Chains A and B, each alone.
Chain A
Amino acid sequence: MLTGLDTITWYLMIAAAVTVFGMVRLLLVRDLLARLIALDVTGIGVLLTLVALAARSQAPDAVLQALVITGLVIAVAFTGLGAVLIRRIEGARDDDDAAVPDRAPDEQTPGADSEQDHGLSPHDQGGDPQ
């Protein structure tokens, strides 16, 4: 099997393995940061496929490399947005854990909507216009 292989096909297989590894891990793990990293690893796997395709011709193909650079910038965009969202969610959860004693239990219902209505972290109890 190894004899019929050339460099490009080898990297295409590595790319497929990395993509599948990242995708399966993304769907199975629950921790938010682990999922974000798994998503980014899947992105790297797909981009690895594109660069391996670009490297088939003697001078590596310019259009496919430009596509990969575009893909890289999109990857940093969605990873940045995901990181800020994780930070806000875990900031909110730190508050819930810290503020559990003084909050009435029924307010603690995890329903996304009721949570949003009172919306405010206790120590910032400004007038929440309703």
Chain B
Amino acid sequence: MIPVWSALAEFSLGAVVLAPLLAAAVSMLVPLPARRVLGAAVGLLVAGLVVPLVVSVSAGEVPELVLGGFEAPVGIHLRADGLGAVFLAVTALVGLVLTGYAAVLPAAEGRCAGPKGWQQGHPGFWPLWLGCWSGLNAVVVSGDLFNLYVGLELVGLTAVALVALGGRGSWEAALRYLFVAVLGSLLFLAGVGLLVSVTGTLDIAQTREALAEVADPEAPLLALVLMTLGLGMKAALLPMHRWLVPAHSSAPSGVSPILSGLVIKAALVVLLRAWLWAVPLSGGAQSHAAVQWLAWLLGALGAAAVLGGSVLALRQTRLKPLVAYSTVAQIGYWFLAFPLLVSAEHDDALAAGAYGAVIALAAGHAIAKAGLFAAAGLLKDRYGTDEIAALRGAGAHHPALILAMGLCAVGLIGLPVSLGFTGKWQLATAAIGAGQWWLIVVLAAGTLLAAGYLLRGIAPLLLQSEDEPAAAKPVSVRERLGESAVMLLGLATIGTGLLGAWLGDLLGVGAWW
């Protein structure tokens, strides 16, 4: 790696967090049209900054930034390993497309109480979205436990505020989301406090070494339970998912894809950091049994989420709650692989396969779900409602949009050329390797149910509606541009499907094994 490239990678590690934060601060001083231009420009800048990081990681290096020049236990280290690079790239791709979508469509920003009543377009969207983007990048690259807490809190608070931009109907859902998100972060902080009392350091790598020598497994185990409980709340695992559907479906149409696609992944990344990097599972047999039991519990909850979420999605009559329940179901897949990650007989190939499956599923879900939610939001803003019955025959005016929704559905169902398929395939092979046959059954059932509820949402748009369609006003240029953004995400779902192999060895860089 030529030194100038690795120096650029180190610089962009800090810049990828601080550039959107600076833009968020500056955007609070400028009027609304200038905020849209600033948002689009910074979106491009951040996407550009992510490129050197991904290149240096795919070349096998792990760029590391020692903030302020103070070494680990005192200062904070920022690291971009394989997991970090993948989620930085996915966040940059989806974030850039959604920034364009929101800049083009004022209705996507939310509804604000203007002098003449509720107007479409909200100036508050831009500082909050850029702050959320910076928080997402901060969580993904951070190598310090307390810094993870501050990043999670930044993402959580900006996400709550973004939901609240949706006008009167969304305030209650936003407050409920605030309670759950902050309680989750506080439980995570309690876990960090427990770990610090045992290891004496906050850096993740040093925590791993310190925990290896710790004799009694009790404190790290309770810390892991606390962190899993807190992050399970923030990632809306099944029993703790009730805040997700009202929040994601009442949010403005530019915000729902951000929430379902990106914000949920922050909690998943921190959970993987805690489970795989921070707390080594090579502890005594007794602790290992407890961790096994915990992993199996997460697997069972994941299976319940896949089946329960899909059945609930089937019963929805409106498009946005249907897509929100689909998120609850897809979250189940990531936790389904936990028993394989923590397999008893320690063969790393199996764990690597399961780990690659989780990341592929999460990345594929981010792109596909963002596209689907943006399309649903666009239809809702245009026709005033997202009742599936009322949208019957809307496809006639938006052929490209329906095609894009179809491509995203391919990614969500997990049909061949998509990351969803790569993930499910790796999960199936890992499950067969570990002899967990029940996993295959859940995978198959989940795929069928996903096909069921997605078709149930998209098919009515294509049918010819009996009564002549309401005199809809002609589709404006802005809406066409919005549709092209959704098409970009649909094509990305298929495009990233071809990168399955490259993703596999990218994840190998700096992995925990």
**Given the complex, which residues of A lie within 8 Å of B153, measured CB to CB?**
74, 78
**Given the complex, which residues of A lie within 8 Å of B476, measured CB to CB?**
none
A92–chain B nearest beta-carbon distance, Å: 5
**Given the complex, which residues of B lie within 8 Å of A35, measured CB to CB?**
179
Cβ of B186 under 8 Å from chain A: yes
Look across to chain B and name the residue whose beta carbon is closest to the beta carbon of A95: B168
- Residue with the greatest number of chain A CB neighbours at <10 A, chosen from B153, B172, B202: B172
B contacts with A: majority SS: helix
Chain B 307-347: CB-based contact to A (< 8 A → 1; otherwise 0): 00000000000101000000000000000000000000000
CB of B166 within 8 A of CB of A116, answer yes
CB of A78 within 8 A of CB of B182, answer yes
CB of A53 within 8 A of CB of B384, answer no
CB of B384 within 8 A of CB of A126, answer no
Which of A71, A124, A129 is the one whose CB lies under 8 Å from B189?
Answer: A71
B33–chain A nearest beta-carbon distance, Å: 18
Q: What is the count of residue pairs linking A and B with beta-carbon distances less than 8 angstroms?
A: 108
Which of B117, B118, B161, B179 is the one whose CB lies under 8 Å from A26?
Answer: B179
A129-B384 contact given A46-B189, A82-B178, CB 8 Å threshold: no
CB of A81 within 8 A of CB of B157, answer yes
**Given the complex, which residues of B lie within 8 Å of A117, measured CB to CB?**
384-385
Cβ of A128 under 8 Å from chain B: yes
B122–chain A nearest beta-carbon distance, Å: 13
Contact residues of A between 13 and 34, Cβ < 8 Å to B: 19, 23, 26, 32
Look across to chain A and name the residue whose beta carbon is closest to the beta carbon of B318: A113
A123–chain B nearest beta-carbon distance, Å: 11
B65–chain A nearest beta-carbon distance, Å: 20
CB of A116 within 8 A of CB of B250, answer yes
**Given the complex, which residues of A lie within 8 Å of B157, measured CB to CB?**
77-78, 81
Distance between Cα atoms of A82 and B172 in the complex (Å): 10
**Given the complex, which residues of A lie within 8 Å of B244, measured CB to CB?**
none
A contacts with B: majority SS: helix
Distance between Cα atoms of A114 and B173 in the complex (Å): 14
Chain B 216-251: CB-based contact to A (< 8 A → 1; otherwise 0): 000000000000000000000000000000100110
Which of B160, B171, B190, B320 is the one whose CB lies under 8 Å from A19?
Answer: B190
Look across to chain A and name the residue whose beta carbon is closest to the beta carbon of B202: A63
CB of B167 within 8 A of CB of A119, answer yes
**Given the complex, which residues of A lie within 8 Å of B276, measured CB to CB?**
none
Cβ of A85 under 8 Å from chain B: yes
Cβ of A100 under 8 Å from chain B: no
Distance between Cα atoms of A130 and B246 in the complex (Å): 22
CB of B171 within 8 A of CB of A70, answer no
Cβ of A120 under 8 Å from chain B: yes
Chain A 32-47: CB-based contact to B (< 8 A → 1; otherwise 0): 1001100100110010
CB of B171 within 8 A of CB of A92, answer yes
Cβ of B294 under 8 Å from chain A: no
A113-B120 contact given A43-B186, A71-B189, CB 8 Å threshold: no
Cβ of A86 under 8 Å from chain B: yes
A18–chain B nearest beta-carbon distance, Å: 11
A129-B120 contact given A35-B179, A53-B196, A82-B175, CB 8 Å threshold: yes
Distance between Cα atoms of A50 and B186 in the complex (Å): 12
Distance between Cα atoms of A63 and B197 in the complex (Å): 13
**Given the complex, which residues of A lie within 8 Å of B167, measured CB to CB?**
116, 119
- Residue with the greatest number of chain B CB neighbours at <10 A, chosen from A70, A113, A117: A113
Which of A49, A67, A127 is the one whose CB lies under 8 Å from B146?
Answer: A67
Cβ of B215 under 8 Å from chain A: no
Number of interface residues of A (CB under 8 A): 43
CB of B150 within 8 A of CB of A74, answer yes
Cβ of B77 under 8 Å from chain A: no
Chain A 89-130: CB-based contact to B (< 8 A → 1; otherwise 0): 100100000000000000000001111110110001111111
Cβ of B109 under 8 Å from chain A: no
Cβ of B164 under 8 Å from chain A: yes
Cβ of B282 under 8 Å from chain A: no
Distance between Cα atoms of A42 and B119 in the complex (Å): 38
CB of B183 within 8 A of CB of A26, answer yes
CB of B249 within 8 A of CB of A32, answer no
Look across to chain A and name the residue whose beta carbon is closest to the beta carbon of B163: A85
Distance between Cα atoms of A43 and B178 in the complex (Å): 14
Cβ of B169 under 8 Å from chain A: yes
CB of A46 within 8 A of CB of B193, answer yes
CB of B186 within 8 A of CB of A116, answer no
CB of B193 within 8 A of CB of A53, answer yes
Cβ of B111 under 8 Å from chain A: yes
**Given the complex, which residues of B lie within 8 Å of A119, measured CB to CB?**
111, 117-118, 167-169
Distance between Cα atoms of A39 and B116 in the complex (Å): 37
Look across to chain A and name the residue whose beta carbon is closest to the beta carbon of B117: A126
**Given the complex, which residues of B lie within 8 Å of A92, measured CB to CB?**
168, 171
CB of B111 within 8 A of CB of A116, answer yes
Which of B74, B117, B168 is the one whose CB lies under 8 Å from A116?
Answer: B168
CB of B249 within 8 A of CB of A113, answer yes
CB of B173 within 8 A of CB of A64, answer no
Contact residues of B between 154 and 212, Cβ < 8 Å to A: 157, 160-161, 164, 166-175, 178-179, 182-183, 186-187, 189-190, 193, 196-197, 202
Nearest first, the 10 closest Cβ-Cβ pairs linking A and B are A116-B169, A126-B117, A126-B116, A115-B169, A112-B169, A119-B118, A112-B250, A85-B175, A49-B193, A89-B171
**Chain B residues in the interface with A (C-beta under 8 A):** 74, 111, 115-120, 146, 150, 153, 157, 160-161, 164, 166-175, 178-179, 182-183, 186-187, 189-190, 193, 196-197, 202, 246, 249-250, 318, 320, 384-386
Could you list some 6 contacts between A and B, CB below 8 A? A42-B186, A49-B193, A81-B178, A112-B172, A116-B111, A116-B250
Q: Beyond A116-B111, A126-B116, list 14 extra A-B contacts (CB 8 Å).
A: A23-B183, A35-B179, A39-B186, A42-B183, A42-B186, A64-B196, A67-B146, A74-B150, A85-B174, A89-B175, A113-B320, A115-B168, A119-B117, A130-B384
